[in-house]
Every structure is written in C-alpha cells, then in structure tokens.
C-alpha cells in the first residue's frame, strides 16, 4: 500500500462518489483510504461495501479530519461550501492534493480556491471526462476560425435533479468561445434568451434543459453562411467522469501547489 496513491472520496454515497469508488479497483496504483459524507447521512459509520460491493474495509465518516491523515488526494464531489471547508482543513496537512469536480461556485468562492491553491495542488474542472475536455479544445479552435460571423449557441441537457444552471460545462464552453473571439464574457453571453427581437451579432446563447434522468448532453452550434456545424458530447454513464477524476488523481499526486485543469492532465 505504501507505493499506492491514497485517496479519500468526499461525497462517497452520492452518484459521482459511488461511480468513482466503483472504478478504483481498476487502478492498480490507487487505494481508497477514506470516504466522507455529510453529517446525518444514514450511511455514516457504515462500511464502504454499503456503497460499492467491490470494496470493503473503509468506514464512511462525516469529518474529513478523521481520515485526512492517511491520504494523498481528496476527490471532491460535494458542494461549493463543503469543498471550501475541506480545503481549509487540508491547509494543515502539507502534501495533500485535491481533485475538484464540483460546479456552481460563486466568483468569491472561485477566488478563495485560487488562494488555497497557493498551498495545495488542486485540479479543478467543470467536467472530468476525457471526451468533453477534448471538445473544449476543438470548440476553441472552431470558434477562432469561424469568428463572430457564425452564430454560436450552446444547448445543455441534464437530469431534473441537477442544482446548478447553466451547467459548469456549458459555462466553460462559452468561456472557450469568448476567449477565441477576444471578447468579455459578460458582454456577449446570453443565458436563456428572453427578450424579443433579432439575435445580436457576436452573441453566445446558452440554453438549459432539465428532464428525466439524462446524465449529461452538451451541443455547440455554429451557424452562418448557408451552413451550420454541430459538435455534441453525450455522457452515457457517470463512469466517463469517474475515470477522468481518477486519472486526475494519478496526475496530481506529488505535484507542487497550484490550480490545474484537465488540460494539464491530458496534455492539451
């Protein structure tokens, strides 16, 4: 075990936590040493086998401080507030690193994460899947070539229980296009267009759909000049995100403090 990367999964009983824990046995250099859930959760003090039959011998706890001593990486799939609380705890444990798959941070919370990253190695991404991060790269290149003569629209679809809207992934797609245009995000991004009238040139529209049990679908449309291009990513299971989080854990282990992204992990 000494040669393995010791991982804590925070949000262990959530959908993403369960997906990550279930895939850990496929990674020979990773071992689960901790599982965290919120206070009052019915699985507190239960063995991790109650979450995944593939693993046992780790007790689900409600306080990161009770597990962080035996860890290298914390994989965080909880909430913005819990993430910041755990980063604060980790400041007292040099050498720990974070993989943050949480979205919905405010600007103030984003600023706090940047401060923590001066002491803690953090990989933060709105979407951990390899395919989606390749799409970020492709969309940026397409937007740079087509420019604002082509109308850019983003449509995202998620399950009805998703809290944040638009998705962090949709926001990141918009950011990539904004960067390609050399514009300011606040000036040209229009979420859930409501005002009547023609579409302004150079505007980027984002539209969110919440329905059923859709895991995640993102479509970017570039339309103009008698043609349109659609670039789509569909997540068929949460394993795509879980594999990405575990690859990120492998990459960030032993890194110097800093705020990294999946582009660093994938070498994009």
pLDDT score recorded for residue 2: 59
pLDDT score recorded for residue 268: 81
Pick the CATH number of 130-234 from 3.30.360.10, 3.40.50.300, 3.40.50.2300, 3.10.310.30: 3.30.360.10
pLDDT score recorded for residue 193: 87
86 is catalytic: no
Of 251, 250, 212, 239, nearest to 52 by C-alpha is 239
Q: Where are the alpha helices (DSSP H) in the chain?
A: 15-23, 80-90, 107-116, 130-146, 168-181, 185-188, 239-252, 262-266
Q: Round to whole Å and give the CA distance between 268 and 247.
A: 14
Q: What is the pLDDT along the chain (268 residues), one digit of tens a residue?
A: 458 999 999 999 999 999 999 999 999 999 999 999 999 999 999 999 998 888 899 999 999 999 999 999 999 999 999 999 999 999 999 999 999 999 889 999 999 999 999 999 999 998 999 999 999 999 999 999 999 999 999 999 999 999 889 999 999 999 999 999 999 999 999 999 888 889 999 999 999 999 999 999 999 999 998 999 999 999 999 999 999 999 999 999 999 999 999 999 998 8
Residues 34 and 67 sit within 8 Å (Cβ to Cβ): yes
Residues 204 and 174 sit within 8 Å (Cβ to Cβ): yes
- CA 123 to chain CA centroid, Å, is 9
In the chain, domain spans = 5-128+238-266, 130-234
158 is catalytic: yes
Catalytic residue among 124, 158, 171, 243: 158
- Class in CATH terms, 5-128+238-266: alpha beta
CA-to-CA dists, residue 224 to 95, 151, 202, 204, 221, angstroms: 50, 6, 12, 13, 10
Model confidence, pTM: 0.86
pLDDT tens digits, 168-216: 999 999 999 999 999 999 999 999 988 888 999 999 999 999 999 999 9
Catalytic residue among 4, 41, 144, 162: 162
């Amino acid at each position: 075990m000494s040669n393995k990367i010791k991982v804590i999964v925070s949000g262990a009983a959530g959908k993403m936590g369960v997906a990550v824990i279930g895939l850990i046995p496929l990674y020979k250099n990773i071992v689960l040493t901790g599982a965290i859930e919120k206070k009052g959760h019915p699985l507190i003090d239960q063995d991790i086998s109650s979450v995944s039959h593939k693993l046992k011998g780790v007790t689900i706890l409600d306080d990161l401080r009770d597990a962080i001593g035996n860890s290298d990486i914390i994989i965080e799939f909880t909430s913005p507030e819990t993430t910041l609380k755990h980063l604060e705890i980790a400041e007292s444990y040099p050498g720990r690193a974070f993989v943050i798959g949480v979205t919905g941070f405010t600007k103030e919370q984003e600023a706090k994460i940047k401060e923590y990253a001066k002491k803690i190695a953090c990989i933060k991404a709105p979407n951990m899947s390899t395919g989606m991060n390749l799409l970020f790269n492709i969309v940026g290149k397409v937007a740079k070539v087509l420019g604002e003569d082509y109308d850019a629209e983003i449509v995202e679809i998620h399950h009805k229980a998703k809290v944040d809207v638009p998705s962090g992934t949709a926001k990141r797609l918009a950011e990539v296009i904004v960067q390609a245009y050399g514009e300011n995000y606040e000036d040209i991004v229009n979420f859930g267009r409501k005002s009547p009238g023609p579409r302004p040139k150079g505007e980027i529209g984002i539209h969110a759909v919440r329905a059923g049990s859709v895991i995640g679908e993102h479509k970017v449309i570039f339309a103009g000049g008698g043609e349109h291009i659609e670039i789509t990513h569909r997540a068929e299971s949460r394993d795509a995100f879980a594999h990405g989080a575990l690859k990120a854990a492998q990459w960030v282990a032993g890194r110097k403090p800093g705020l990294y992204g999946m582009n660093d992990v994938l070498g994009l």
